[in-house]
């Protein structure tokens, strides 16, 4: 295979050991042929883009979310004028929300969790007694005076949502540089990490490639009725929703006809969390608008968590 980087500096594709990041194992930098990279470590993956700068110097830029908040939605005929939201990761910061029924509604944000909560047991789902023209979010960081409100419009009239919060760390989102010397990458710290071929990763390489593709172009997510993600990182291999499921228009869901039992979507047993016989598709809502606007805060939390 020809080297796509040869006209733009040396070929740096390969795997570089970055040393131990935890007692459970080390981290590795995978530099792929298509200008993408991944840093794998215990419990997670950082992905981003790499490019040749000049000479033997390359720049690596982590993929950074445009907003701390992301929102996916679907139509749920059973809600009838109400709005349901799963709050994922909102316990990891001081977070607030408002479901606005109409354009121009005053900004009154409600705290998601009580400020002294420290013992969480997700999932956390709340049903609001109103439709959602738009949904507003805000987070307050301990070391920042920023109080920007992020508003996400709901032009398709969804009423069942999965909302995610990931605290954006400015430092982690900064590019880093490395020089390719003597068969390895030398980073700012002065250490040179030697290269190994990509095929050393084995069967995990295809999973990492697909993970990068999905995360770089994430338009949809899949959840069962208990909000257990379909095709999560815990799976041994990437999952294809069409492999065992067919779409049922009446239920607006993907059904595994071999295992689905009528009414499974209403089950509340412990076993229902692992039941993947019915899966809902949630589509991303784009166009988040961040602005500093007058707002009030209700300190009455949606979820009041006991402190232990």
pLDDT of 218 reads 77
Q: Please name the residues in contact with 206: beta carbons below 8 A apart, sequence gap of 6 or more.
A: 238
CA distance 241 to 260: 14
Q: Nearest Cα to 55, choosing from 176, 180, 175?
A: 180
Which of 115, 128, 90, 92 shows the shortest CA–CA distance to 305?
115
Tokens 């005929």 appear where?
77
pLDDT of residue 2: 39
* SS3 sequence of 275-290: CCCEEEEEEECCCCEE
CB 132 within 8 A of CB 98: no
pLDDT along the chain (308 residues), means of 10: 54 89 70 93 83 94 82 95 95 93 93 87 94 94 68 96 83 84 86 89 84 78 93 57 94 96 92 94 92 89 81
For 114-135, the three-class secondary structure string (H helix, E strand, C coil) is CCCCCCCCCCCEEEECCCCCEE
pLDDT in tens, 17-65: 987 654 445 789 999 998 999 998 876 788 999 999 999 999 999 987 7
> Tokens 């020089």 map to which residue?
179
CA distance 90 to 86: 10
Secondary structure, 3-state, the chain: CCCCCCECECCCCEEEEEEEEECCEEEEEEECCCCEEEEEECCEEEEEEEEEEECCEEEEEECCCCCCEEEEEECCCCCCCCEEEEEECHHHCEEEEEEECCCCCCCEEEECECCCCCCCCCCCEEEECCCCCEEEEEEECCCCCCCCEEEEECCCCCCEEEEEECCCCCCCCCCEEEEEECCEEEECCCCEEEEECHHHHCCHHHHHHHHHHHHHCCCEEEECCCCCECCCCCCCCCCCHHHHCEEECCCCEEECCCCCCCCHHHCCCHHHHHCCCEEEEEEECCCCEEECCCCEEECCCCECCCCC
The Cα–Cα gap between 96 and 288 comes to 15
Sequence ranges of the domains in the chain: 14-65+170-216, 69-167+219-298
Look at residue 43 in the predicted model and tell me its pLDDT.
64
| CA 302 and chain centroid, separation | 22
- Per residue in 281-306, pLDDT tens? 999 998 889 888 889 999 999 998 87
Predicted confidence at residue 1, as pLDDT, reads 37
CA–CA dist 53, 179 (Å, integer): 10
Give the HSE-up count for residue 154: Cα atoms under 13 Å, Cβ half-sphere: 24
CB neighbours of 297 closer than 8 A, spacing ≥ 6?
Answer: 96, 108, 109, 110, 111
Fold of 14-65+170-216: Lipocalin (2.40.128)
């Amino acid at each position: 295979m020809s080297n796509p980087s040869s006209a733009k500096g040396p070929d740096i594709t390969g795997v570089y050991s970055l040393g131990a990041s935890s007692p459970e194992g080390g981290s590795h930098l995978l530099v792929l042929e298509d200008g993408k990279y991944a840093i794998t470590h215990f419990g997670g993956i950082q992905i981003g883009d790499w490019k040749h700068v000049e000479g033997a110097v390359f720049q690596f830029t982590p993929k950074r979310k445009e907003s701390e908040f992301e929102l996916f939605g679907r139509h749920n005929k059973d809600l009838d004028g109400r709005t349901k939201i799963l709050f994922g990761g909102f316990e990891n910061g001081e977070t607030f929300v408002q479901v606005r029924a109409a354009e121009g509604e005053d900004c009154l944000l409600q705290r998601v969790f009580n400020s002294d909560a420290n013992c969480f047991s997700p999932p956390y789902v709340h049903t609001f007694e109103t439709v959602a023209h738009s949904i507003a979010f805000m987070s307050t960081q301990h070391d920042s005076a920023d109080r920007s409100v992020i508003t996400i419009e709901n032009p398709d009239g969804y009423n069942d949502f999965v909302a995610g919060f990931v605290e954006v760390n400015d430092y982690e989102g900064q590019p880093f540089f490395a020089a390719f010397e003597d068969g390895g990458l030398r980073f700012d710290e002065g250490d040179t990490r030697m290269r190994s071929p990509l095929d050393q990763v084995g069967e995990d390489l295809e999973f990492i490639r697909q993970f990068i593709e999905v995360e770089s172009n994430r338009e949809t997510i899949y959840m069962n009725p208990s909000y257990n993600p379909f095709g999560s990182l815990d799976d041994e291999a990437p999952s294809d929703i069409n492999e065992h499921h067919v779409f049922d228009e009446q239920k607006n869901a993907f059904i595994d006809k071999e295992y689905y039992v009528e009414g499974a979507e209403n089950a509340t047993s412990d076993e229902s969390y692992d039941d993947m016989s019915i899966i809902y598709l949630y589509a991303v809502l784009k166009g988040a608008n961040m602005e500093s606007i007058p707002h009030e805060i209700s300190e009455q939390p949606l979820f009041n968590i006991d402190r232990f």
